[in-house]
Each structure stands twice: as structure tokens, then as C-alpha cells.
Amino acid sequence: MDMSRHPEPPQRPQTAQHPESATGEARRIEPAAGPLARPALLALGWVAVGAAAVGVALPVMPTTIFLLIALWAFSRSSPRFGNWIRKHRVFGPFVRDWESYGAIPTRAKWLAVVMMGGSLAWLALFTAAPPIAVALTAGTLTCVAIYIMSCPAPPDRPTAGLSRQRVDRTDKFPTA
């Protein structure tokens, strides 16, 4: 019996890949199956991108969650658009941190909690919402705040020669 020849493993379908996970291995994303799935996911992705764009301008509407929805939809329907979000100058780092580490920047965590608190205060003090609605909203926002605050912060990145530390420049400007 000849053991030098092994049968070829079955071929897997082509799939898009996420960036490397925290463990160092790329995660595979299965593409959409079915004739209507791809157009529906593309439409969902663009609607989510539009909602995220509105969220940039309106502080009461979230941005990141819509970008993550768009990334999910695009990853299954158009790797080109998925990579566009991952490589976006402004939103790309946040999306990549979430994908790779499940991480949320500390500043974004605090901003989210403060905005949720402000929204709850507005609901309780300046609307005619029934007390049960305020209580349910408070409970939901508390759970969301706990989840957000329990997410890790992204790892520090090199800043290409730029330092975030304050630089003392008094030695460069002599005084009289």
C-alpha cells in the first residue's frame, strides 16, 4: 500500500476574509447564497451606510452600529465594499478594532454612556412619556452601558513617529 500519495482535500468555496483576529488567524465569511440574497444584502449595506452618515451629523443617532451592519452585509455580498469600510480613513480603525478585538475606544465608550444618560434625562424630564416607558428605557440603556463599558479598549498602535505625550519645548526657545 503506497502511503506517499494522499488524496486531495475537498475544495472549499471561495470566501471573503476578515482581517486577522486577536488570535492571529483570519476568519472566513461565507458569501450570500441564493439569487436574491446578494442584492438584498447590498441594499441593506447601503441603507446602513446612509443611516451611519446621518448618525455622524445627528448626535442622537448612533453611527458605529450602522457601519457594523453595513460591514456585515457587504462582507457577504461585495468584498469590495466591505474592504472600503475597513480601509475608510475615519471609520476604518474603529471597525477593524471591533472586528479583530471586539474593542471600543475608551473615549467612545464614555461618549456613548454620556449620550445615553442625556437621552434618558430628556425622556424623563421634557417629554410626557409614561413612567413605565422611562423605567424600561432606563433598564435597557443601563444594560447597553454595562455591555459597552465591559468591552476592551483597542491595543495601542505605533503613531508613525508622532507621540501623544506632551513635548516640553522650553529648551528650544531661550528666554531673555
pLDDT along the chain (176 residues), means of 10: 48 46 54 81 94 81 84 90 90 88 89 90 95 96 94 78 48 49
What single-letter DSSP state applies at residue 170?
A: G
Q: What is the pLDDT of residue 91?
A: 84
What does the pLDDT look like over 29-73, one tens digit per residue? 667 667 788 999 999 999 999 998 888 787 667 787 888 899 999
Give exposure, 11-27, as e/b (b: 16+ Cβ within 10 Å): eeeeebebeeeeeeeee
Q: What is the pLDDT of residue 58?
A: 78
